[in-house]
Amino acid sequence: MRFDRFLISLVASVLTIQAYCQVAIPKPTHLQVNWQKRETTAFIHFTVNTFTDSEWGNGSESPQIFNPEKLDARQWVKALKDAGFRMVILTAKHHDGFCLWPSKYTEHSVKNSPWKNGQGDVVREVTDACREFKVDFGFYLSPWDRHERTYGTPVYNEFYKNQLKELLTNYGEIAEVWFDGAKGKNEKDMQYDFDGYWKMVKELQPKAVIFSDAGPDVRWVGNEKGNAGEICWSSISTDGMMPGVADSKYLNTGDENGKKWIPAETDVSIRPGWFWHAKENDKVRSAKNLVNLYYQSVGRNSLLLLNIPPNNQGLFEESDIKAISDFRTILNETFAANYLKGSVSAKLTDNKLTSYAIFKKNVPVEFSLKKQMTFDRIMLQENIHNGQSIKSGFFEYWDGKEWQLISSFSTIGYKRLLRFPQVTASKIRLTITDAKVENQLELAEVGLYKASSGE
Ligand code: FUL
């Protein structure tokens, strides 16, 4: 090759690599997009703790204490469906090791309880109810097992996988499997075979997303208070991370330069504890409090995983049902009418991520309303099918003489919700001030709303 041709091809290769690096931002799989579109998922914590008034059982509880005489999984799932929850994640086994299904591999389960004379299966009842009400199902099978004798030895991994396999093969489609890295203080020696567990999930339930501190599909948000970061990237780098060994601040905000798409799931309980306690019956979060959690999780590019624990009769308390029902009513009222509909490009108000408008950095875009309106909420969505890019921006309104700031924002991602004092105007404008890509900012949705009086 002649030297000048060599130079030309070298320059061309460098430019191609550069261009590639600029656009090579992590992107979600369809499963991850579908997961995030559910927005609100319910957690159900239920085990022997429900009968012993504790949060962590020690594994020596007798199965004889498990007797939820009025258990009605249809009541749980119907209440959740009515309140707009799209998936249920059940604690099939918590740290105490008691199995809510009759596992072949242990005696520590419903089969040795008085409930239904040992013939019952809570996992079956919940999955049946989920199919009936068209709600997706997932489970949490705690790796930490304080009952099982083999725990702490490599044999335990086989025991755990056997149980995992039972749940993955006998209950139809599984939408999410939830893992934590909890271990006792003196049990540091237990090396969980997470790679092996996850491989099994992928093989047996290819449509399930896997949750843990470190993904691989969705990550912990880093706290149990219901707070995603003000800045919240769906990308992180997982080098050196393991469930139970992760930097919670890093998980909370994600990482703009993270190599993998692993969005944040915000788990929080409707009560102070994860399990039902009679003494917490008057400490159920109000609907308004739950709405605030929605803004702090879904409204910051995360998903809200809200725990509602059944009581020792096997029923959701009416107070909890009312709170989630009123929560959804408030959200439905607030987001019923997008004031921008009909006055901006239909692509921005059609509720589809894949139909988007292209924005440029530092080029303000005006939106005129049909008339003067009073509003106090804004919703933004990026077309996350192509990744997450926007880092910052602000909204202004026209007061008749000049532009006034409404609110600034940082990351958007799947969804960003802004709350601010009421503004009355007929014209607003949006300026995106920083983003990972220069000029191809794919904004899928913009919404302008007036909050319900429930807030
Ligand atoms: C933690 C557990 O230790 C808590 O009991 C609860 O289940 C929470 C959701 O996950 O790891």
Ligand 1 centre to CA of 383 (Å) is 33
CB of 265 within 6 A of ligand 1: the answer is: no
Q: Nearest residue CA, atom 4 of ligand 1?
A: 274
**Nearest protein Cα to ligand 1, atom 10:** 180
State the distance from the centre of ligand 1 to the C-alpha of 122, rounded, in angstroms: 19
DSSP string computed for 16-60: HHHHHHHH------HHHHHHHHT-EEEEE--STHHHHT-SS--S-
> What's the residue count for the chain?
455
- 409 has which bridge partners? 393
Q: For residue 21, what pLDDT is reported?
A: 45
* Distance from the alpha carbon of residue 223 to the mean position of ligand 1, in angstroms: 11
Decide: 184 in ligand 1 pocket, CB within 6 A: no
Residue 19: pLDDT over 50: no
pLDDT at 353 over 80: yes
The residue whose CA is least distant from atom 6 of ligand 1 is 274
For residues 376 and 346, what is the distance between their CA atoms, to the nearest angstrom?
Answer: 22
Residue whose CB lies within 8 A of the most ligand 1 atoms, among 274, 305, 307, 308, for a mutation test? 274
pLDDT score, position 10:
53
DSSP-based three-state secondary structure for 138: strand
pLDDT of residue 24: 76
Cβ atoms of 74 and 132 within 8 Å: the answer is yes
Rg (CA), the chain: 24
Most ligand 1 atoms within 8 A of CB, residue of 93, 146, 180 to mutate? 180
Structure tokens at 178: 């939830």
Find tokens 């003494």 and name the residue. Answer: 279
364 and 393 in contact (C-beta within 8 Å)?
no
Give the pLDDT confidence score for residue 454 in this predicted structure. 87
Q: Whose CA is nearest to atom 8 of ligand 1?
A: 274
Query: Residue 181 CA: which ligand 1 atom is closest?
Result: 11
Per-residue pLDDT of 236-295, as tens digits, reads: 999 999 898 889 999 999 999 999 999 999 999 999 999 999 999 999 999 999 999 999
Pocket test for ligand 1, best of 94, 213, 248, 266 (most atoms within 8 A of CB): 94
326 lines ligand 1 (CB under 6 A): no
- Is residue 273 within 6 Å of ligand 1 at its C-beta? no
- pTM of the predicted protein model: 0.94
Distance 19 CA to ligand 1 centre (A): 44
Cβ proximity of 352 and 431 under 8 Å: no
The residue to which tokens 């602000």 are assigned: 394
Give distance in angstroms: CA of 309 to centre of ligand 1: 13
Burial 2-30 (b: 16+ CB within 10 A, else e): eeeeeeeeeeeeeeeeeeeeeeebbebee
189 contact partners, CB below 8 Å, separation of at least 6? 152
Bridging pattern class, strands 357-359 and 416-435: unpaired
The rounded distance, in Å, linking the Cα atoms of 408 and 429 is: 12
Q: State pLDDT tens for residues 160-206.
A: 999 999 999 999 999 999 999 999 776 667 899 999 999 999 999 99
